[in-house]
């Protein structure tokens, strides 16, 4: 398959940006390997600090590895997110009802993560033993690639979402993925065909988040 054929013909970049929602409910249907490779190839086109190109990507399809990552995600969701979401409070920009729907989707993802066709892990390789300070400083060079991957998934009609809750225990993640000491994992992106429909993202208005020249 020619990878250029994988893109949805009539989707412009702004259509993708404005409809690139976190798609958590995904089908079990297998995603062709060419499409997964295309996602990482697109991620790899992103910029990095000093052009270091230290981003590394692991496409996890093996059932037992997916199960281990799903177990780590469960620990993250149950320990951190559920207590927050159970309060079911609204945010200024997100109603209690919308938050509750998001919580349902996070729970669905927690229960089904091991069944999702591919879990893509965005990592960095620092070339030497990585510490917490290096890992934090490196984040700016991996997230542009993650966003490229998410937009590319959207353009190909695949569902994806950036997640970090499975990665809260770096030692456990290192063991599961057999990472050398020089590597750190930043984001786990479950990828599959979406169960629901894509729709527009809802974000704060520009009047709230933008100023010209100076803030006040
Ligand atoms: C740094 C970061 C970490 C995130 N971690 C998680 C996560 O662990 N689990 C999850 O379900 N979603 C996670 N998300 C997804 C956000 O919840 C989502 O992008 C946000 O709610 C906006 O959703 P929307 O694009 O559908 O409007 C994360 C997003 C970012 C940028």
Distance 203 CA to ligand 1 centre (A): 13
Residue nearest to atom 4 of ligand 1 (CA): 163
- The pLDDT of residue 173: 98
Whether 9 shows a pLDDT value over 80: the answer reads no
58-69 pLDDT tens trace: 999 999 999 999
Residue 216, pLDDT score: 95
* pLDDT tens string 72-107: 999 999 998 777 776 766 677 877 788 888 889 999
Residue range 169-173: mean pLDDT, rounded: 97
Residue 216 CB coordination number (10 Å): 3
Give tens-digit pLDDT for 118-149.
999 999 999 999 999 999 999 999 999 999 99
pLDDT digits (tens, 9 = 90+) for 144-154: 999 999 999 99
The yes-or-no verdict on residue 1 having pLDDT over 90 is: no
pTM of the entire structure?
0.94
For the chain, domain boundaries = 29-196
- pLDDT surpassing 90 at residue 8: no
pLDDT averaged over every residue in the chain: 93
- Interstrand relation of 183-192 and 55-60 (parallel, antiparallel or unpaired): unpaired
Per-residue confidence band for 56, with pLDDT thresholds at 50, 70 and 90: very high
The per-residue pLDDT for range 20-44, each reduced to its tens digit, is 999 999 999 999 999 999 999 999 9
Task: Report the separation in Å between the CA atom of 213 and the middle of ligand 1, taken as the mean of its atom positions.
Answer: 30
Which of 108, 162, 197 to mutate to test ligand 1, by most ligand atoms within 8 A of the CB atom?
Answer: 162
Beta carbon of 75 within 6 Å of any ligand 1 atom = no
- Which pLDDT band holds residue 3 (cuts at 50, 70, 90)? low
Q: Which two tokens stand for residue 142?
A: 């991996």
Sign of CA dihedral 50, 143, 116, 199: negative
152 lines ligand 1 (CB under 6 A): no
* CATH class label, 29-196: alpha beta
């Amino acid at each position: 398959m020619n990878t250029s054929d994988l893109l949805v013909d009539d989707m412009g970049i702004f259509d993708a940006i404005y409809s690139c929602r976190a798609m958590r409910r995904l089908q079990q249907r297998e995603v062709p390997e060419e499409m997964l490779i295309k996602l990482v190839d697109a991620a790899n086109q992103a910029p990095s600090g000093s052009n270091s190109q230290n981003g590394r990507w692991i496409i996890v399809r093996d059932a037992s590895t997916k199960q281990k990552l799903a177990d780590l995600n469960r620990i993250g969701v149950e320990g951190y997110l559920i207590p927050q979401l159970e309060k079911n409070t609204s945010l200024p920009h997100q109603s209690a009802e919308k938050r509750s729907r998001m919580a349902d989707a996070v729970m669905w993802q927690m229960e089904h993560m091991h069944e999702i066709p591919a879990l893509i892990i965005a990592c960095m390789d620092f070339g030497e033993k990585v510490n917490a300070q290096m890992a934090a400083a490196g984040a700016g060079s991996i997230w542009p690639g993650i966003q490229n991957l998410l937009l590319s998934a959207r353009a190909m009609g695949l569902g994806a979402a950036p997640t970090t809750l499975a990665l809260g225990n770096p030692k456990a993640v290192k063991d599961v993925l057999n990472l050398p000491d020089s590597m750190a994992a930043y984001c786990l992106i479950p990828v599959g065909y979406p169960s629901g429909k894509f729709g527009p993202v809802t974000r704060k208005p520009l009047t709230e988040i933008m100023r010209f020249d100076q803030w006040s």
